[in-house]
Structure 1
């Protein structure tokens, strides 16, 4: 998922940049050029030959001088050239000079170049989520002074054809200014590694929120699978003109969402506005509970309340419970609040005394119903108005109208289409030397979790083939716990997607950070990115840097049926199994051959857990943390959570 407000702003910037590209003829046509991923302050990968490439006129001799070495090559008929500098140890700063044999041509000079470890940080919004959006942002930003950590942020871009350069960008050392918009997960990962290794760390960030794994895979690989082949071929009619129209529609879309149209904000909130002919619905309720199938757009709601004389002229507090995130609140015609993408736990507002009238008072709400969401989430008792003593419920009948403002344009979201992000945001930085990849994605593939078993390894192999660096390390984050907690064991697409992520550990040189304990039920972007970055760094320390650290929580190894109980054996137990909070293990469910699961009693015995239930006399299967948002507490004594698992192979896909 992404932040649409940021996307709205970045769309204007991309349009401006494209206009400049079209309007300004190239001043260096025919001269030596390098992709934008080469810039001042860059970090180059230590311990391996360093690829440097670019373009110039065909047949020209190109020299690259760096670290006391001078390498020459000649451009091909296509004007392309590449050299591989000898491997170097960590350090710097260095200068890199690139020039043509023609001494009249300008020399390209890159300053403050460091040698260290470069990590590609990629995927959707939980990797893209910025330091300024995450936990303890103010303190983290204030204390950010790490000149040996550098970021290159690939700007959002999508293309139908493979590109050789990114839209823009340059390497930036981390300080209190540049850290604000850096990936929080990648920054905390880099900070942890840099403090331990004492070498420069470069983060090559290529992320876009709300995107499926298919968007990041090459066309050739996608055509090799029946899962994606048909879709890829169907999209061959899409052109850059479609992108432009969709981008313009996106601007209109968010303009309508954020800015009231048809002067509705001047008329609808007025207490004297006549809403007698408006239909009525009962709140709290969400779109799925209302008789508005598939509606997407701006909704106006009004509720008339009658206040007793003892509240006249007194300041009161309006408690709104859990409304949809994008809304404006009016009280007797006065705008009280405008909430834009603020997923705070509760929404309550002070109503000034001068607005509070005896008798009739009108509450009006302008709300965006987007992506099958909208309305007020229960419970009803959290919607009320109070002076601190008495409460007046705001639940019950509300008048509504959904046709007072322009219809939201249909957005195609081409950035979610197969291969378009690979073309524009991954291929242009290949084969820049990297030490490995950190990856955090999966939310946008939850609707087809079994397909992820094929698509995720496909992407890993696709990138490794194209980088030609062998089985470079690929570290990734498993989906966090999210959404409403279910009272009984149930089916879960989120659990099935996590299982697909676990299965990807069969790929060589991979490791997975489990964060089933870090999620938030009502927030798909949990704020504790520090711990996510730390757990990825633990994996890197063990897998890549061969340090003696416990990097993973307990992993299911095997099981044995022992009468009316099942014994689960774990690996990665470290100093031993434990529970967070030192209570009994929770999150285990057990079933017999009828495939009906019941919550189970669980007891830790050494590196095993015995699982049983009085309701299951002949158990055959156990599941742990198998839910969207499981209540689970099994850890090792290093504090790392056990990975969700199941011992059965029964169909676990939620019926659509």
Structure 2
């Protein structure tokens, strides 16, 4: 071998070793990042195999040590203080140093789902967000940190993505999730601490796209892709978004999660009733943070016949999916549901009133996670049915100060007798109940309220929270 060739090989080996020795941090650990306060949060990265790493945190002047495995992966948990900033994290090994600047400490929430979570404050083309422009103009806030994971569908879990944390500003907020923004804004204002929002959503996605192969092992009817070519629909292929978008943020220190999804599963409500709680349960297991809070928005009413045949809508209108979500809220521990029957639009699946959804999710978090009191945070919910001769009394719970129709006639109730045929009922509103009668039903045994595809809310709590569509039968 010539001297020139051997020298060239030596130089290549040297630079290869130097490259491997460099510290690589995921995009989650970028300048402007936020960490969950009062927690043991993980920091991880990649570099040289079997190497020693030192992680220095400026808030307590501590140095943590980690050692990479034979593939160069390392991870360490660090203790965070109470909310505050401006801090710095420095990661070093024998050959490299990486610094993370302008780190703040506060409350971190994952924000996920499909297009109604993805819809930005500036709106979609031809589909505005009410008040979005004003919200954008007034959005500058160094104590709200944002990061959006770009759309990505993969057959295997990925470790990183393109992006980084940013401070809230009109430029950064314009394209950010409106629902997540209104949620985070209210938390920041009320709690008076920095808030971080990790936005992971994809329009049109079904729930199984956000689940791993292991999570779906008991669902034989759902096809799991085996190769990249099997991802025919990036947003509706089982496991594809779990692998491509959720995996790189899995395990990051969070306080809880908010979720707005279900429209793409509306025609499979009974399957969704099993899939969704399974997803939440297994996300929590993989996050390894216990049963962190999980609050979700009920899908808003919409005329789904524009997407599917009338026969499907007649058999499984979207009220069945709303019902499945109500039932999920009962079986998922440490969860809550934000009812949106008063924001739906007949011809637009993306309601413009995103502030209501974001704030109602925040009400749940402020009450159930942060322990604030004195305000309403859960919609009234069907409690009991009492038959008195030819009338039915429907009572509600979660009604601290009564229900109201806002002075309008209530026409959304139906009652049925043994023949299982439903007829419109006359409604008399009382403080916490409704008395229903119909000349066509002499012996009523079942009640439905707004149990159709597109409906408009007719009953609210005095605090302004609408009652969900519901039924007392299982016909």
Query: What's the counterpart of residue 54 of structure 1?
Result: 45
* Deviation by residue 1:552-604 (Cα, 9 ceiling, x = unmatched): 2210112122221111121111211111x312333111111111111111112
Residue of structure 2 aligned with 1:125, choices 111, 115, 123: 115
Paired residues of 2:203 and 2:235 also in contact (CA < 8 A): no
- 1:194-593 matches, cutoff 5 A: 194-228=188-222, 231-232=223-224, 235-236=225-226, 238-239=227-228, 412-483=232-303, 492-505=316-329, 506-548=331-373, 549-579=375-405, 581-593=406-418
Query: What's the counterpart of residue 364 of structure 1?
Result: none
Query: What's the counterpart of residue 37 of structure 1?
Result: 28
Paired residues of 1:147 and 1:174 also in contact (CA < 8 A): yes
Q: Distance in 2 between matches of 1:593 and 1:87?
A: 61
Query: What's the counterpart of residue 145 of structure 1?
Result: 140
Query: What's the counterpart of residue 181 of structure 2?
Result: 187
Residue of structure 2 aligned with 1:632, choices 457, 468, 471: 457
Root-mean-square deviation over aligned CA pairs: 1.8
Paired residues of 1:478 and 1:515 also in contact (CA < 8 A): yes
Paired residues of 2:39 and 2:81 also in contact (CA < 8 A): yes
Residue of structure 2 aligned with 1:169, choices 149, 163, 167: 163
- 1:56-71 matches, cutoff 5 A: 56-66=47-57, 67=59, 68-71=61-64
Q: CA deviation at 1:179?
A: 0.7
Q: Distance in 2 between matches of 1:450 and 1:113?
A: 44
Paired residues of 1:586 and 1:634 also in contact (CA < 8 A): no
TM-score, structure 1 normalization: 0.66
Say whether residues 1:595 and 2:415 are aligned partners.
Answer: no
Say whether residues 1:615 and 2:440 are aligned partners.
Answer: yes
What is the DSSP-based 3-state SS (H/G/I as helix, E as strand, rest coil) of the residue aligned with 1:452?
Answer: helix
Count of residues in Structure 1 that have an aligned counterpart in Structure 2:
444
What is the DSSP-based 3-state SS (H/G/I as helix, E as strand, rest coil) of the residue aligned with 2:235?
Answer: helix
Q: CA deviation at 1:52?
A: 0.5
Say whether residues 1:82 and 2:82 are aligned partners.
Answer: no
Q: CA deviation at 1:625?
A: 1.4
Q: Distance in 1 between matches of 2:30 and 2:304?
A: 46
Query: What's the counterpart of residue 88 of structure 2?
Result: 95
Paired residues of 1:518 and 1:528 also in contact (CA < 8 A): yes
Q: CA deviation at 1:225?
A: 2.5
Q: CA deviation at 1:459?
A: 0.7
Distance 1:637 1:61, change over 3 A: same
**Bigger radius of gyration among the two:** 1
Paired residues of 1:492 and 1:626 also in contact (CA < 8 A): no
Distance 1:213 1:567, change over 3 A: same
TM-score, structure 2 normalization: 0.90
What is the DSSP-based 3-state SS (H/G/I as helix, E as strand, rest coil) of the residue aligned with 1:415?
Answer: coil
* Deviation by residue 1:162-219 (Cα, 9 ceiling, x = unmatched): 22222x0100111111011000000011111101001111000011001100000011
Distance 1:583 1:601, change over 3 A: same
Q: CA deviation at 1:632?
A: 3.4
Q: Distance in 1 between matches of 2:19 and 2:147?
A: 23
Paired residues of 1:584 and 1:603 also in contact (CA < 8 A): no
Q: CA deviation at 1:492?
A: 4.5
What is the DSSP-based 3-state SS (H/G/I as helix, E as strand, rest coil) of the residue aligned with 1:92?
Answer: strand
What is the DSSP-based 3-state SS (H/G/I as helix, E as strand, rest coil) of the residue aligned with 2:299?
Answer: coil
* Deviation by residue 1:519-545 (Cα, 9 ceiling, x = unmatched): 111111111111111111111111111
Distance 1:615 1:537, change over 3 A: same
* Structure 2: gaps spanning 5 or more residues: 1-15, 124-128, 306-312
Distance 1:32 1:507, change over 3 A: same
What is the DSSP-based 3-state SS (H/G/I as helix, E as strand, rest coil) of the residue aligned with 1:222?
Answer: coil
Paired residues of 1:589 and 1:600 also in contact (CA < 8 A): yes
Say whether residues 1:160 and 2:155 are aligned partners.
Answer: yes
* Deviation by residue 1:410-457 (Cα, 9 ceiling, x = unmatched): xx3233100010011111111100111110001100121111001111
Q: Distance in 2 between matches of 1:544 and 1:502?
A: 20
Distance 1:477 1:62, change over 3 A: same
Q: Distance in 2 between matches of 1:115 and 1:447?
A: 42
* Deviation by residue 1:128-155 (Cα, 9 ceiling, x = unmatched): 0001112233322222111111111001
Paired residues of 2:304 and 2:318 also in contact (CA < 8 A): no
Paired residues of 1:575 and 1:636 also in contact (CA < 8 A): yes
Distance 1:566 1:159, change over 3 A: same
Paired residues of 2:21 and 2:96 also in contact (CA < 8 A): no
Residue of structure 2 aligned with 1:606, choices 425, 431, 444: 431
